[in-house]
A = this chain, B = another copy of it.
Amino acid sequence: MTIYFEDLSPGDTATFGAYEVTESEILDFATQYDPQWFHTDPERAETESIYGGLIASGWHTAAMTMRMIVDHHLEDAMALGALGVDDLRWPEPVFPGETLTVETEITETRTSESRPDRGIVKTFSRTVNQSGDTKMEMTSIVLYARRAE
């Protein structure tokens, strides 16, 4: 079933995904996009980092979260693109060997004033590990198509 703006309501929740974080993927992402030593040098991270070991780039955590969101429902959704994200936070770093899951709740929906064929959906999401520790939070602002009348 294709999901349009009308199918989404404040209060809707979902929990999904089981993304296994590997050291090699952390290194690959960070080498290309965030080559700070605590993301790219496991030995130095273990001895010098305030986190006690190699951690994923926060942008990598966001990217892994996005992949779970797309796999869960965006493939079938009339999402037209994201306008932005509010209050993106990384309360704890992500380590190799963790498994990430996403919890979402729609917080607001409104039709576009300038484009009545579109609507805007705000969703709060939390990315947690297998122990329930919160690794990332954000509120995304996404444009959806409305059903033709």
Interface residues of A, Cβ cutoff 8 Å to B: 29, 32-36, 38, 50-51, 55, 57-59, 62-64, 66-67, 70, 74-75, 79-90, 93
Contact = CB atoms under 8 A, between A and B. Distances in A.
Chain B CB count within 10 A is highest, among A50, A57, A63, for A63
Contact of A90 (B57, B82, B90): B82
Given A35-B75, A59-B66, A62-B62, 11 more contacts: A29-B63, A33-B63, A33-B67, A36-B74, A38-B80, A59-B62, A59-B63, A81-B93, A84-B87, A85-B85, A86-B87
So how many copies of this chain end up in the complex?
Answer: 2
B66 A33 contact: yes
A67 B36 contact: no
